[in-house]
A and B are shown apart, each in its own frame.
Chain A
Amino acid sequence: MMHNITVKVCMGTGGVAAGGGEVLDAFLNEISSEGIAASIEKRCSPGKVGCRGLCAKDVLVDVIIGNSKVTYQHVKTDMVPRIVKEHILESNPVLEWAVGEDYHNFHDRQQKVVLSDCGNIDPEDINAYAAVNGYIAARKVVTSMTPEDVISTIKMSGLRGRGGAGFPTGTKWEIAGKQDAKTKYLICNADEGDPGAFMDRSVIEGNPHAVIEGMIIGAYAIGADKGYVYIRAEYPLAVERLKKALDDARTENFLGKEIMGTSFNFDILIKLGAGAFVCGEETALIASIEGQRGMPRAKPPFPVYQGLWGKPTVINNVETLANVPYIMRNGPEWFASFGTEKSKGTKVFAITGKIKNSGLIEVPMGIPLREIIYDIGGGIEGGRQFKAVQTGGPSGGCIPADLLDTPVDFESLAKVGSIVGSGGMVVLDETDCMVNIAKFFLEFTRAESCGKCVPCRIGTKRLLEILERITKGEGKPGDIALLEEMSVDIKMASLCGLGQTAPNPVLSTIKYFRHEYEAHINEKRCPAGVCKDLLTYSVLEEFCKGCGACLRACPAGAIKGEKKKPHIIDPSVCIKCGACLDVCKFKAVKKE
């Protein structure tokens, strides 16, 4: 029997960067070429799909013949002819290029809700989404349910906001629904500003229609007729796919006037963020949509009472909204069967940093960190020692090895001094300096503080100055206590979430890695060998062959020596860039 053949090429941001576009073209070319075309072209459809999660192995390609699927990893254009010839024409998969056990481990322990169609369907084809039951939930909601029914379904599911704060979504909708106002707004917050996080980007790139469907349902529940997606301009591919998806949804009358033959009107506009982290905060985001500097204001009144242009406004995160169609389709009990007592459902995380299988994952709430890092993530790169995992970005904290059994849910992570946040997880190993990491985040929050309130504007600057001194070897006794004291004050006195959480990276690194701070301050030593001012580079005479590689690589001209004789680094000229260490093949450069 002749089976249909499907080829799926990963074209998320990771896939595109690794050459996904070229690989897809190569498949199209190869298959349409003479001889091959006649035998298979009509049955074979290569297409693009969104993020598959395991971006470290991109370009990932699925070849599906009938019911049998083989996934290839690290696919390059020159591998395509052989895959087409042996696998597609002769039904002999090229197993040496197929994914291995780690790919299956990566996927098998996940529980996909939001990502269930992401990476399987063509994100630019509304029919592909319809084929996996897309827009069925929205149709059912607007044609046969009352807003109150929708809200009670979402409340029963236990869905909480995925943007960081974890506020119950159903409750938010209920309050907005009760507001007696002619105009209400629903805003999708896609201003994913946390460095180290790309969940929302991947969801929009991989399945934009799920977000749109979630927005239709949400808007119906609260009685909004206009929606906005506030999305970062730094995400060009996501913006492009979202635009196309909105156009297609309008054509199908899923958006616009009298949606699906009912009296309900709803349309969605895209607003491009202009690059300000603080605009993830609700009131700042609203100011930005209104065309002003994105500065937060004091709450209350909360946006559900007075938001955009003074009207009741619900702001939900991308992942929250993308959960909604699946909850409406499969029922609240199904959703609530995942996760823990207080944190229901699943959560998407971006695991990156010093981890083998870096990428995008979705797991049930409550899964222990250890399982994410070792079973799904495959452990630490290069066989080095795990040191900490940073969760929640600049508002979160670092969790050390002895707390790896902490379950990942809103309450448990807060208990250990971090947060779930939007879902970024950056894994750090023994070569990362925790004081440097704290400094990195303070540089970020200092730059992104809007400047409206004093504790945040001046507090983050002073914290950063102290951290800079410590990493330069100019730390003083009492610095740690000062950092702690200021952190507590900044958290208490700041106006918005940015300032209230900015000290978290400092507090959590002091709590779990105080000895590293002490080594910097008391011994003027950076144990991880990161802080430049505390390092010296020297040549180990017994290993140096005098090849001259370091001498040529040194941008400062700090290395002297004759050919075939041990070289010397002049510490007064050395700029500590590490170029010599990188080029030395004989391990003769020592960093301490």
Chain B
Amino acid sequence: MREKLKSILEAYKKKEANIIYLLQKTEEVFGYLPREAVDFFADELGIAPSRFFGVATFYSQFHLNPRGRNIITACCGTACHVKGSERLINGLRQELRLAEGQETTEDMDVTLEKVNCVGACSIAPVFLINKKVYGKSTSDRLLKEVRAIRGAKGNDA
């Protein structure tokens, strides 16, 4: 991890970028912001960790906990909302056996998260499964895709 963090820091210094850039790169590499990463940057740059966490908790793009190998993103924009995204999300939560407030499955396989709006409103309701856009989503199609991901994991194991 140290090596990766060092190279992120190098890029940051070279670009004279700001700490949002630093956190975005870290998130890109690790999928979330590990505590060790923040401590490392704080030490190296002489900036209090609280400033990093202040920024990290302000923006929805940053995650403080590890996320699953597969990411399902549910769009919660207005068009998706009126086209019934909430019910589809509840269906997925049941399929993934996620408890109230839980985003990632116990086995770290799938994370289901909500975003404000992905701007693909004319094909609402919209879901992203590992960054691929699924428009005009239906419960059947989503469950099929999710089972395919879960099944694929079963074969690998």
Contacts and interface: CB of A to CB of B under 8 A. Distances in A.
Contacts of B61: 233, 274-275
Interface string B68-103: 000000001111011100010011001000000000
B64 to A, nearest CB: 14
A149 interface: no
30 contacts: A13-B119, A14-B123, A16-B133, A17-B133, A55-B123, A192-B119, A195-B78, A195-B117, A196-B121, A198-B122, A234-B117, A235-B118, A274-B23, A274-B24, A274-B61, A275-B61, A288-B20, A291-B55, A293-B58, A294-B59, A295-B58, A352-B79, A352-B121, A352-B124, A353-B82, A353-B83, A353-B124, A448-B116, A577-B87, A579-B91
B154 interface: no
Contact of A201 (B87, B90, B119): B119
A451 to B, nearest CB: 9
Given A17-B135, A555-B94, A353 B79 contact: yes
Interface in B1-29: 17-21, 23-24
Contacts of A579: 91
B155 interface: no
B142 to A, nearest CB: 14
B122 A195 contact: no
Contacts of B135: 14, 17-18
Contacts of B124: 352-353, 358
A196 B78 contact: yes
Q: Please tell me the size bucket of the interface on A.
A: 35 or more
Given A234-B115, A359-B122, A360-B122, A390 B59 contact: no
Q: Please tell me the size bucket of the interface on B.
A: 35 or more
A233 B60 CA distance: 11
Contacts of A360: 122
Contacts of A440: 78, 81
A350 B123 contact: no
A393 B78 contact: yes
B134 interface: yes
A55 to B, nearest CB: 4
Interface in A329-381: 350-354, 358-360
Contacts of A480: none
Contacts of B82: 353-354, 426, 428, 432, 437
A236 B131 contact: yes
A350 B126 CA distance: 16
Contacts of B90: 577
Contacts of B79: 195-196, 352-353, 358, 426
